Structure 1
Amino acid sequence: MGTTQVEAAQEPKYWHLKTVLGDALDSEFAVGEVLPNERELAARFGVARATLRQALEQLELEGRLQRRRGVGTTVAPPRIGVSVGPSQGSWPGEGDDAWHAVGCVEAPAPAAVARLFGPGYDAGRSVHTIRRVRTSDAQPVATDLLYVPRASVPALSQLLTPAAHPLAVLRELHRLELENEDRAVELGSARAEDAKQLERLPGAPVLVLTTRYHSGGRVAAVSVATYRADTCRLTFGDSGAMEITHHDTASGEDDRAQAS
């Protein structure tokens, strides 16, 4: 098997251009400003338009640029800071109106989620699955699937309308005493339904935050939240909660909201 001489490998031209463009974005353009068209940019930097497109696509992937239909390519605002700290001690949707429920179904949880409920969990049983969406400046930045076994909400009425279903599940879940929660974060790829909710293409990079909520000595609910990797960044601190920071580019102030 041959070897690859990494040290001898030359940096692709589009990658170098990406760095140059990134510096220009920081020094010459404001957030929301529309970039010149491809022809002008290619002439300015002395590159082929194909090379320019590769550099622009990479900057968009990294969240530095946004392509808006009918507007063009604009400078993206700073990523939303997602601080993952110690447990806040509250259920999803409890005292938090940042997430909006968009549907609820009853079906067996995916195998990977079923395993998170621990030994003895009947993977074939249906669970209440609530889909929620979070937006910032009218743009979706995260989608969440909250899995709640029937055993966690035994008093839930079976006669529910589709609109009332997610609210009723959350209401019953909030009646339980939350003992603790644990979280894990990983980089992933957007699945088809998540990509649709986030207005991204399937396979786009995402940050997946998985949370297990414990009550009565067992896992009472599991949340799998998917954040756009191009608009979100992770921060770690001792705030005791997961904090979402919305950057107000007009005033320069931060609007902080606590998330479950």
Structure 2
Amino acid sequence: MGSTQLEPVPEPKYWHLKTVLSDALDSEFAVGEILPNERELAARFGVARATLRQALEQLELEGRLQRRRGVGTTVAPPRMGVAVTDPEHSWPGAPGDAWQPVDAAEQTPPGAVARLLDMDPATSLHTVRRTRKTRGQPVATEVLYVPAAGVPGLAADAPPTGPARAHAVLRELQRLRLEGQDQAVELGSARADDAKQLDRLPGSPVLVVTTRYFSGGRTAAVAVATYRADTCRLTFGDATAPAVQLLAG
């Protein structure tokens, strides 16, 4: 078989600009400093604003920049690693859990979650909403889906919504024997409600971690956690305990 010579592909203009901007961030700007507006930056580097936006978006994705409502684009602070996967594989809400319950209610699950739970998507279940913070800043949100059959001991007089109901569902869930769990990770875009919780713009890149909890030979609960993709790094430990690390600014 003959060989095929590939023609060199020129570096995209926005990618070269990203490198130049990255050097400028290191030498000219301090952590937390607000960058000049797009018009000024485009004029300084002699590029179109569309090219500049592409470079800025890439730097944001890499965690070098942060865009915040009412503030503008700032230089991101140093990152801090925070383990996401629980090495002991315990139920949500167990001692040492870093998540904070904020609300709970009964509602029908998304189709994908219903399939994971092998249930009719028209059937309502318990949903527990939780958040996670680092240094006082929200870094992740989560929705935990628990079928009613999985927590039969939930008191009938438990509050219909709110943190108290969330704690009640978590307590009942921990009465089950956890047989194992698995996780799937994918890149997604922040929905409006998640973006608001994470102080991001709707459509910003996020990392979605879906965890299935097994008990009694079936999927007893499903958690869908949304992390800021610009501050996340995936690491892997041994074969039985894959880990996800969050780099939180």
Normalising to structure 2: TM-score of the pair? 0.81
Aligned-pair CA distance for 1:150: 0.8
Distance (whole Å) between structure 2 residues aligned to residue 107 and residue 37 of structure 1:
44
User: 1: distance between equivalents of 2:34 and 2:80?
Assistant: 21
Name the counterpart of 1:149: 147
User: Cα offset for 1:168?
Assistant: 0.2
How far apart, CA to CA, are the structure 2 residues paired with 1:9 and 1:245? 34
1:167–1:85: structure 2 CA closer, same or farther, 3 Å change rule?
closer
Deviations 1:66-88 (A, max 9, x none): 23456553211345546566852
Structure 1: gaps (5+ residues): 1-5, 249-260
Quote the offset at 1:48 in angstroms.
5.3
CA contact (8 A) 1:147 1:221 kept: yes
On the 8 A contact 1:99/1:133 being kept in 2, the answer is yes
Question: Is 1:206 aligned to residue 206 of structure 2?
Answer: yes
Q: Does 1:188 align with 2:197?
A: no
Instruction: Mark the CA change 1:67 to 1:112 in structure 2 (over 3 Å): closer, same or farther.
Output: closer
**From 134, 138, 141, the counterpart of 1:140:** 138
Residue in structure 2 matching 1:160, options 154, 158, 161: 158
Counterpart in the other structure of 2:127: 129
Alignment of structure 1 residues 42-57 onto 2, 5 Å: 42=42, 45-47=45-47, 51-57=51-57
User: Residues 191 and 45 from structure 1, CA distance in 2 versus in 1: closer, same or farther, beyond 3 angstroms?
Assistant: closer
Cα deviation, residue 204, structure 1: 1.9
| Equivalent AA in structure 1 for residue 32 of structure 2 | G
For the 8 Å contact 2:114–2:121, the answer to whether it is kept is yes
Contact 1:84/1:234 (<8 A) preserved: no
Q: CA deviation at 1:152?
A: 0.9
Alignment of 1:58-207 (within 5 A): 58-68=58-68, 72-79=72-79, 81=81, 88-118=88-118, 121-161=119-159, 162-163=161-162, 164-207=164-207
Question: Residue 198 of structure 1 contacts residue 228 of structure 1 at CA under 8 Å; is this kept in 2?
Answer: yes
Q: C-alpha distance in 2, partners of 1:136/1:128?
A: 27
Task: Look up the match of 1:13.
Answer: 13
Distance change (3 Å), C-alpha of 1:95 and 1:57: same
Task: Give the AA of the match of 1:150.
Answer: A
Moved more, 133-142 or 227-236: 133-142
The TM-score, its normalising length taken from structure 1, stands at 0.78
Deviations along 1:133-155, whole A, 9 cap, x unmatched? Answer: 11223322211110011111101
Question: How far apart are the structure 2 equivalents of 1:69 and 1:212?
Answer: 34
**3-state SS of paired residue (1:14):** helix
Q: Which residue of 2 aligns with 1:255?
A: none
In 2, distance between residues paired with 1:142 and 1:189?
13
Give the corresponding residue for 1:254: none
Q: 1:168 to 1:200 in 2, by over 3 A?
A: same
RMSD of aligned residue pairs (Cα, Å): 3.0
Deviation for aligned residue 1:44: 5.1
Q: Does structure 2 conserve the Cα–Cα contact (< 8 Å) formed by 1:144 and 1:225?
A: yes
Which residue is equivalent to 1:256?
A: none
Q: CA deviation at 1:64?
A: 1.1
Aligned partner letter, 1:168: A
Quickly say closer, same or farther: Cα 1:122–1:72, change in 2 above 3 A: closer
How many residues in Structure 1 have an aligned counterpart in Structure 2?
Answer: 241
Q: Give distance in 1, aligned partners of 2:221 and 2:201.
A: 29
> Greater relative contact order: 1 or 2 (C-alpha under 8 angstroms, separation 6 or more)?
1
**CA separation in 1, counterparts of 2:68 and 2:117?**
41
Task: Report the secondary structure of 2:128's partner residue.
Answer: strand
Q: How far apart are the structure 2 equivalents of 1:148 and 1:109?
A: 10
**1:83 touches 1:235 (CA, 8 Å); kept in 2?**
no
